Structure 1
């Protein structure tokens, strides 16, 4: 049960560990334990971490609910791959001064993914 969701939750967990470590290493480099201390690099790392933690959990929940309701495997894998790709696009887009397009398409795909999964889950709940 929830084999596909578990796969993507594990992969997202590994990526989240990397994103979290990225913040910790930035804090250590700037010797800042709280906030960003006015360091734009650290602020960017914190925002990447925050953005990840804002979108990944709800999307994983929606994938899990879709799996529980019997969504086809290709839909679940598509959603899982899209989740990983959008989080990577945001993270690497923020790290680059030219990453605006990566972030734009990552955000757009995130919104479409959330909309699709939310409507699918609601459709199953209502009918």
Structure 2
């Protein structure tokens, strides 16, 4: 794991943001493939599989952009790389666990864990941003 600890804050933000963008591309491709397999042009066509795939993508698209924005701002504010790794890693892991736990239509512990990690990451990032708005940084 020395590779991760040697990263700058910007590299850490790029890593986690890139992984989340790739996750969104993967989830979007699942929607596209499901749509094609069921020959549905718009909406979900009443197809439960397509509805679920769309909802999984939609859920990711509701949380990931805010997280990427927070990572970018934390980096600009001079937060250290390890703090960026904690926020980015928690958010990515939370979104990944949540997406794959939603593949089952029943409530699962993975769904709860995924949302918990996501909300802790966003809450932590939001808190750091608010604190930095008042205390500033040595170079800002």
Range into which the TM-score falls when normalised by the shorter chain: over 0.9
Query: 2:72 matched to 1:68?
Result: no
Matches within 5 A, 1:89-100: 89-97=97-105, 100=108
Match of 1:105 among 113, 116, 132: 113
Superposition RMSD on alpha carbons, in Å? 1.5
Report the number of matched residues: 127
Alpha-carbon shift at residue 91 of structure 1 (Å): 1.0
> Highest Rg: 1 or 2?
2
- 1:22-77 CA-to-partner distances (Å, cap 9, x unmatched) read 00001011110111111111111001100111100101111111111121211111
TM-score normalised over the length of structure 1? 0.92
TM-score normalised over the length of structure 2? 0.84
Partners of 1:36 and 1:77 in 2: CA distance: 37
Match of 1:48 among 56, 68, 80: 56
Query: 2:12 matched to 1:7?
Result: no
Gapped runs of 5+ residues in structure 1? none
Greater helix fraction, Structure 1 or Structure 2: 1
Gapped runs of 5+ residues in structure 2? 1-8, 136-140
Partner of 2:28: 20
SS class of match (1:95): coil
